[in-house]
A and B are shown apart, each in its own frame.
Chain A
Amino acid sequence: MTMQRNEFAATVDHTYLKIHTGDGEVRRVCLEAEKYGFASVAVFPAAVPLAASMLEGTGVGVCVALGFHLGTYPPELKAFETKDAIENGATEVDLVMNVAAAKAAEWDLMRREFDLFREAAGDCVAKIILETCLLSDDEKRRACEIAVEAGLDYVKTSTGYKKGATVPDVKLMHEAVAPKLKVKASGGIRTLDDALAMLEAGASRLGTSAGVALMSAFDERYG
């Protein structure tokens, strides 16, 4: 892997999806993201206004976790949630797809959800979360195809609340969507080796709460 430090940092969505702490922790992750040059901070919708005000002018994106973490409600409500987050300052929107639609082979419902999501996301980076651990390989491929048709920007593996990203899933998704869409690997990425394996498998972005530790490990190995 021949990757510069800043290039590696720019793959990280510095993720903070905890509910049991207040504004102080949101401020901390924003400061860390700016310091290391991460792609974005990823937070819950309620924390977006604060993150957006902290990160204005820094070049760090404000990524928001939508539909978390079950992704079950109707497309119109998800589109509303997307617009609401963007009005509050989100620049990247990560939405959990309707997994039940895949399980019931309701592909038209999935298509409508992805189309409405694209429309609501406008120019923001739109990532759809498959929650791969609940899907068969066929269902993963179908969801990827529909994401390509809808013109989304990324397919993303996992919410992080269930089993996370695997190398075979990232490969499968990369093959299904490249070069039109990119892949975000998320969930369970704790070590530098995890991170590099995901990038090697075709991920362009990593969702992880271990960003600071990953940077230390990167410096130790390559610095």
Chain B
Amino acid sequence: MEKSDRWTPERLAPHIVSSLIEADVTKADIAAFVEDVKSYRFPSLAVDLPYIDLLNDLLAGTDTRTTTVSSYPLGGMTTAVKVRQVEYARDHGAYDIDVSMDYLAIKSGNFAKAEEDVRRVVDVAGPLKIVMIPQVAILTNEEKARTCEALLKGGCTTIKTASGFGWKTEVEDVVLVKRLFGDDIEIEVSGGVRTTNDASAMLAAGAVRLHTSTPFRVLGLDKELSYRKKES
């Protein structure tokens, strides 16, 4: 296939954020994770808040950055708690943080509240890059548009489409955001990027980064993260 020829692992890797975020992930799992992936020079690795320091240490001297998460993966936390988590990530030196939006407000049609939630998170971010998660799978197309307007007004210019964990992103979602907002919103995709072909389609639609918990499968390689082997 022409597409898979084009997206060799070397070409695809600079677009991949490899994540390891589960309830039972230990420090030893994080260390093994970095060993597993470090030769691929992914732009970023995503871990939960307590592992920012450890990951920064393990990635010292490389170009790979530390991504973390807030109100993740379900959303539903209050703005006050998200602000505190963002401050924690900022103080511990994460590069960026993926933050669930206020879905209750959005699904209740209260976009002003959703915007204020974004603004309060952005206000405390300092050098930390804020990436908001609109969770496109639970939104109508009109809600997707209004949610993206709200996050832009709140001062955020990058989205991660979904949190994964069962919530998927369709290529059409990326196309829609790109069509409505052009280059005003940088699009990272999560949820449903499983193969090289999925990845290729998302990038062609305008996504810049793809989040996955199974990076080797996305690269088309017959390998698995040590943590996943332990699981099975």
Contact = CB atoms under 8 A, between A and B. Distances in A.
A22 interface: yes
Contacts of B22: 70
B102 A100 contact: no
Interface in B18-38: 21-28
Interface in B68-106: 72-78, 80-81, 84-85, 88, 102-106
B50 A72 contact: yes
A88 interface: yes
Given A45-B78, A46-B76, A22 B109 contact: yes
Contact of A72 (B21, B27, B105, B138): B21
Contacts of A20: 103, 107, 138
A69 interface: yes
Interface stretch (A73-81, A147-155, A173-181): A73-81
B48 interface: yes
A84 B73 contact: no
| Size bracket of the B interface | 20 to 34
Interface string A6-24: 0000000000010111111
A134 interface: yes
Nearest to B47: A72
B24 A44 contact: no
A104 B27 contact: yes
A103 interface: yes
B49 A68 contact: no
Of residues A26, A44, A46, which shows the largest number of chain B Cβ atoms within 10 Å of its Cβ?
A: A46
Interface string B44-64: 000011100000000000000
A95 interface: no
Contacts, number: 102
B213 interface: no
A115 interface: no
Nearest to B84: A80
Nearest to A71: B23
A100 B109 CA distance: 38
A19 B138 contact: yes
A71 B107 CA distance: 25
A99 B23 CA distance: 6
A47 interface: yes
| Size bracket of the A interface | 35 or more
A46 B85 contact: no
Interface in A117-152: 131, 134
Given A44-B74, A44-B76, A74 B88 contact: yes
Contacts of A77: 49, 81, 84-85, 88
A19 B108 CA distance: 11
Contacts of A69: 23, 73-74
A26 B104 CA distance: 10
26 contacts: A19-B75, A19-B76, A19-B135, A24-B108, A44-B75, A44-B76, A44-B104, A45-B77, A45-B81, A46-B102, A68-B76, A69-B73, A70-B73, A72-B25, A72-B50, A74-B49, A74-B50, A77-B49, A84-B80, A85-B78, A100-B23, A100-B24, A103-B24, A134-B24, A161-B74, A162-B23
Interface of A: 17, 19-24, 26, 44-48, 65, 68-74, 77, 80-81, 84-85, 88, 96, 99-100, 103-104, 131, 134, 161-162
Given A20-B138, A70-B23, A88-B78, 13 more contacts: A19-B75, A19-B138, A23-B108, A44-B74, A44-B77, A65-B76, A68-B76, A70-B48, A72-B49, A80-B84, A81-B81, A103-B26, A134-B23
